[in-house]
């Protein structure tokens, strides 16, 4: 193997390695250990590390549907797998691997888990490369980068690595932990060993603590590039990580810090999906741009034009009468998924270079984390108050037709000390508030109700499906060093 492997170790370790020639192709914009490291190289390398969060098509392949690499698979693995979404408006035989995810007949060779794994490890690979340069003792002298800029970029890198590992640990459980660039093929095999998920969570939280200290104490890290990771994004992922590890008491104060940075609920629900960083609510999203070089558009709008991504009947029926969030999410008569399109008239449908952003975390989501944590610690009144804040925003703004919902829409939940009842309100509110935002499947799993809900929905969900299988391509490429999740 050539020395270039230390620059281009294949994402997900082995899945993309078809032959030695693949190792000779350097990923665009990545820091290399050969040649001069400059400010421009570092800036471009950090920016490229965000790309795996993009909905741009074919980032890691050329229409490689079978390996799940045409686009990142969040909508398939979290929404279609749940009871919220169907593959298409009209059932057909297109992309049967997605049908296998939908009905839980998938195996370890399915493209869905493979794409999820490869996207995340490619992001981690890029992050580790740029961090190795940013952490050099002489980086300021060699490049002229300021300490403040170095710290900001390093803070962004710690966050991004945490985000990719959050996706891996919540979907696969125990996973390999890579914290520095791999130098040789022997090292690649050595690190292809699954680490206990508790160690992954410790790393996520440790990286986030470092990121928090490095980033500016302001709502945006940059007023001219508001898409960049901010201290608010770090705090939000800290809160979400504490929620997922059931450290309930840590969640409310972190969410309160977000309010202190200036985050709050927008007056209108749909502003979250149309605004370009001028709103109050979006904490972290990917900044899609049309006609950018290299391409940066929202490619997920293209398969929407092919009939992909439709609501289930159960999802539609879960909305209370006149809830404006239903039409803001999906226009059933016209078969438009408004939330994914960022429009209310079908604009962007079929466009593989659309400008609408992909929202990852917003304040309403964080408030509902706080409500859940309060409920788990016995503060029923606090939990109900937050649920009502979310409902009030939904009913007080105009709906998608510009009309204020009629009186009596989404009434406040009454005071209650019945934990099961309040939990049912919380579950409902998260579903209708965050539908088609890649949250539902992970919510069902962490609440321990996935099998109950999905079996009632007609799906063949089994206990083994609490985790996705480690991709068979990875296990085969590691010569068995990687082990499989039980049941696959």
Reported as a single tens digit per residue, the pLDDT across 132-141 is 999 999 999 9
The encoded tokens of residue 426 equal: 């919380």
Q: Is the pLDDT of residue 4 over 90?
A: no
Q: In whole angstroms, what is the distance from residue 31 CA to residue 126 CA?
A: 8
Reported as a single tens digit per residue, the pLDDT across 325-359 is 999 999 999 999 999 999 999 999 999 999 999 99
Q: Count Cβ atoms within 10 A of the Cβ of residue 463 and give its class: 0-12 exposed, 13-18 middle, 19 or more buried.
A: exposed
Q: In whole angstroms, what is the distance from residue 316 CA to residue 453 CA?
A: 16
Q: Count Cβ atoms within 10 A of the Cβ of residue 230 and give its class: 0-12 exposed, 13-18 middle, 19 or more buried.
A: buried
**For helices 197-214 and 231-244, what crossing angle results, to 10°?**
160
Pairing assessment for the beta strands 358-362 and 308-311 based on DSSP bridges: unpaired
Q: In whole angstroms, what is the distance from residue 62 CA to residue 356 CA?
A: 23
In sequence order, the 6+-apart residues with CB closer than 8 A to the CB of 378 are none
Integer angstrom CA distances of residue 405 from 324, 394, 434: 7, 9, 20
| pLDDT, mean over the chain | 92
Q: In whole angstroms, what is the distance from residue 9 CA to residue 182 CA?
A: 7
Q: Is residue 172 helix, strand or coil?
A: helix
Q: In whole angstroms, what is the distance from residue 221 CA to residue 224 CA?
A: 9
pLDDT confidence bin for 188, thresholds 50/70/90: confident
pLDDT confidence bin for 275, thresholds 50/70/90: confident
pTM: 0.94
| Across 239-244, average pLDDT | 98
Write down all domains in the chain, each with its CATH number in brackets.
37-451 (1.25.40.390)
Residue 266 Cα to chain centre, angstroms: 21
Which of 143, 208, 157, 139 has the alpha carbon at shortest distance from 49?
157
**Per-residue model confidence (pLDDT) at position 35:** 53
pLDDT confidence bin for 15, thresholds 50/70/90: very low
| Across 259-275, average pLDDT | 96
């Amino acid at each position: 193997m050539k020395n270039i492997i230390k620059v281009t170790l294949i994402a997900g370790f082995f899945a993309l390695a078809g032959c030695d020639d693949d190792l000779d192709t350097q990923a665009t914009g990545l820091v290399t250990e050969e040649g001069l490291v400059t400010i421009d190289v570092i800036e471009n390398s950090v920016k490229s590390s965000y790309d795996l969060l993009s909905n741009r098509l074919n980032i890691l392949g050329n229409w490689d549907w079978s390996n799940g690499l045409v686009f990142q698979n969040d909508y398939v693995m979290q929404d279609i797998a749940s009871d919220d979404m169907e593959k298409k408006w009209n059932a057909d035989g297109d992309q049967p691997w997605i049908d296998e995810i939908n009905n839980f007949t998938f195996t370890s060779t399915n493209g869905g888990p493979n794409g999820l794994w490869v996207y995340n490890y490619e992001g981690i690979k890029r992050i580790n490369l740029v961090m190795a340069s940013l952490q050099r003792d002489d980086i300021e002298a060699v490049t002229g980068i300021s300490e403040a800029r170095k710290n900001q970029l390093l803070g962004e890198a710690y966050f991004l690595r945490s985000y990719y590992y959050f996706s891996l640990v919540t979907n696969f459980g125990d996973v390999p932990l890579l914290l520095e660039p791999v130098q040789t093929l022997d090292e690649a095999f050595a690190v292809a060993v699954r680490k206990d998920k508790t160690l992954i969570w410790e790393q996520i939280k440790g990286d986030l603590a470092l990121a928090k200290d490095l980033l500016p104490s302001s709502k945006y890290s940059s007023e001219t590039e508001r898409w960049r990771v901010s201290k608010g994004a770090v705090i939000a992922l800290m809160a979400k990580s504490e929620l997922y590890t059931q450290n309930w008491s840590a969640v409310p104060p972190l969410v309160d810090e977000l309010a202190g940075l200036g985050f709050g609920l927008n007056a209108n629900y749909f502003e979250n999906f149309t605004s370009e960083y001028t709103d109050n609510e979006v904490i972290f999203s990917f900044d899609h741009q049309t006609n950018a070089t290299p391409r940066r558009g929202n490619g997920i709008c293209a398969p929407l034009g092919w009939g992909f991504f439709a609501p289930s009947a159960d999802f539609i029926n879960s909305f209370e009468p006149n809830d404006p969030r239903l039409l803001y999410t999906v226009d059933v008569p016209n078969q438009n998924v408004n939330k994914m399109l960022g429009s209310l008239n079908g604009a962007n449908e079929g466009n593989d270079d659309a400008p609408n952003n992909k929202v990852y975390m917003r304040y309403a989501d964080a408030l509902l984390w706080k409500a859940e944590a309060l409920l788990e610690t016995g503060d029923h009144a606090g939990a109900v108050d937050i649920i009502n804040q979310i409902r009030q925003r939904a009913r007080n703004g105009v709906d998608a037709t510009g009309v204020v919902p009629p009186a009596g829409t989404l009434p406040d939940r009454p005071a209650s000390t019945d934990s099961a009842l309040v939990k049912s309100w919380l579950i409902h509110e998260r579903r209708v508030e965050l539908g088609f935002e890649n949250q539902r499947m992970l919510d069902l799993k962490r609440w321990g109700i996935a099998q109950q809900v999905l079996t009632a929905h007609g799906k063949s969900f089994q206990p083994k499906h609490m985790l996705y299988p480690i991709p068979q391509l990875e296990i085969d490429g590691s010569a068995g060093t990687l082990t499989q999740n039980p049941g696959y």
